[in-house]
Homo-oligomer: A and B are copies of this chain.
Amino acid sequence: MGVSYDTIRFIDGVAEILDQRALPGKIIYVKCRNAEDIFDAISKMKIRGAPAIGIAGAFGVYLGAAASKARDFKGFKREVKKISAYLASSRPTARNLFWALERMEKTSRALESGSKKDALAGLLAEAMKILEEDKAICREIGEAGNGLIKKGARILTHCNAGSLATGGYGTALGVIARAGNKIKMVYVDETRPVLQGARLTAWELSALGIPATLICDNAAASLMSRGKIDAVIVGADRIAANGDTANKIGTYSLAVSAKYHNIPFYIAAPVSTFDLSISGGEYIPIEERSADEVRKVMGKLITLKDMPVLNPAFDVTPRHLIGAIITEYGVIERPGTGKIKRMIEGK
């Protein structure tokens, strides 16, 4: 990993989360000692990126369970379920959070009666496994996507789907990092309102030594029309059964523009991002975040202090605008319900 900071690490019973709100200016680790700290870190976006908040959620379940005062095993399991439901309400869109929480609950359900110590050891092991698996998944996504990247490629990316969004070296940035010298330039959308592109992706690519240029989100379509973009690669927060994909607000605009300019548009995401329980993107809940996220930039007011604002954190890109979804199981070109089902069930 180029940026030599763990996004999340577990030391001496405490989950330490790199506070991404302070990056790239400051390196601050937030110590999370209980489920409430994890809830706070996710909802306030100290940690963000769909796979990363899944990992954080898993540690949150462990930390919550460790504080359990339950007298018996049944009560303990009931409590794990409650903690999981609580953490699931920290942010609504990313599928990976619910997926990780379900894994933790399943681990809890599978526990045979025994000591609380053993039960906690099982939960911690599962959380650590989710973290470790994510590192391998990032490498596999990088390998799978590498075939799509041509020599001299100029890639546009949006938001941050890098090491800070995952346990490993990233999904979209994983593909870019794996492609290495083939990449001529990565154009990085600054990604208002939270500026994950300007703050996080710019920092990561710079640390990786990959040529990168920051642009305003407004400039992306214009660069496409001027022939400066060969492909768009972004991450995902939730992918419906048919391939419709929710990702950071502005992704849809890029997909429409990419289609208009005949530029391939790729999603890179772990299989845990798929939500096969929903048939299409219209059922993905879209988080509406606070008005002040738009009204202020780095604490500075940029408009009237009571200006009405609409601030959807995500948008949905319909599958017909997506050239391929890159996962650890391989690449699904022109995604659709059948192909996705076969790939996931085939494993």
Q: Is the CB of A214 within 8 A of B307?
A: yes
Q: Does A295 reach chain B (CB closer than 8 Å)?
A: yes
A222 partner residues in chain B, CB cutoff 8 A = 249, 252-253, 312, 315-316
Q: Is the CB of B24 within 8 A of A190?
A: no
Q: Does A11 reach chain B (CB closer than 8 Å)?
A: no
Binds B, one of A80-88, A193-201, A230-238: A193-201
Q: Does A309 reach chain B (CB closer than 8 Å)?
A: yes
Q: Is the CB of B303 within 8 A of A300?
A: no
A307 partner residues in chain B, CB cutoff 8 A = 198, 202, 206, 212, 214
Q: Is the CB of A190 within 8 A of B190?
A: no
Within 8 A of B (CB), among A189-225: 190-193, 195, 198-199, 202-203, 206, 211-223, 225
What is the CB-to-nearest-CB distance from A186 to chain B, in angstroms, rounded to a whole number?
Answer: 11
Within 8 A of B (CB), among A223-269: 223, 225, 248-250, 252-253, 256-257, 259-260
Which residue of chain B has its CB nearest to the CB of A301?
B25
Q: Is the CB of A192 within 8 A of B216?
A: yes
Assembly CA distance A222 to B256 (angstroms): 10
Contact bitstring A21-32, B, C-beta under 8 A = 1, else 0: 000110000000
Q: Does A294 reach chain B (CB closer than 8 Å)?
A: yes
Q: Is the CB of B218 within 8 A of A295?
A: no
Name the prevailing secondary structure of the A interface residues. mixed
Q: Is the CB of A300 within 8 A of B301?
A: no
Q: Is the CB of A311 within 8 A of B216?
A: yes
Q: Is the CB of A300 within 8 A of B297?
A: yes
Of listed A192, A195, A223, residue having the most chain B CB within 10 A:
A192
Assembly CA distance A223 to B80 (angstroms): 39
Contacts A192-B190, A225-B315 given; does A214 touch B252 at CB 8 Å: no
Contacts A192-B192, A308-B213, A310-B223 given; does A218 touch B253 at CB 8 Å: yes
Q: Is the CB of A218 within 8 A of B217?
A: yes
Contacts A198-B302, A206-B307 given; does A294 touch B253 at CB 8 Å: no
Q: Is the CB of B256 within 8 A of A303?
A: no
Contacts A192-B192, A214-B303, A294-B190 given; does A220 touch B308 at CB 8 Å: no
7 residue pairs A–B, Cβ–Cβ below 8 Å: A187-B310, A190-B303, A191-B218, A195-B303, A218-B250, A222-B312, A298-B300
Question: A217-B217, A221-B250 provided; 7 other pairs, C-beta below 8 A?
Answer: A187-B310, A213-B309, A214-B308, A215-B294, A216-B311, A218-B248, A221-B252
A residues apposed to B, CB below 8 Å: 24-25, 187, 190-193, 195, 198-199, 202-203, 206, 211-223, 225, 248-250, 252-253, 256-257, 259-260, 294-295, 297-304, 307-312, 315-316
A-B pairs, top 5 by smallest CB distance, nearest first, are A218-B250, A221-B253, A222-B315, A198-B303, A298-B300
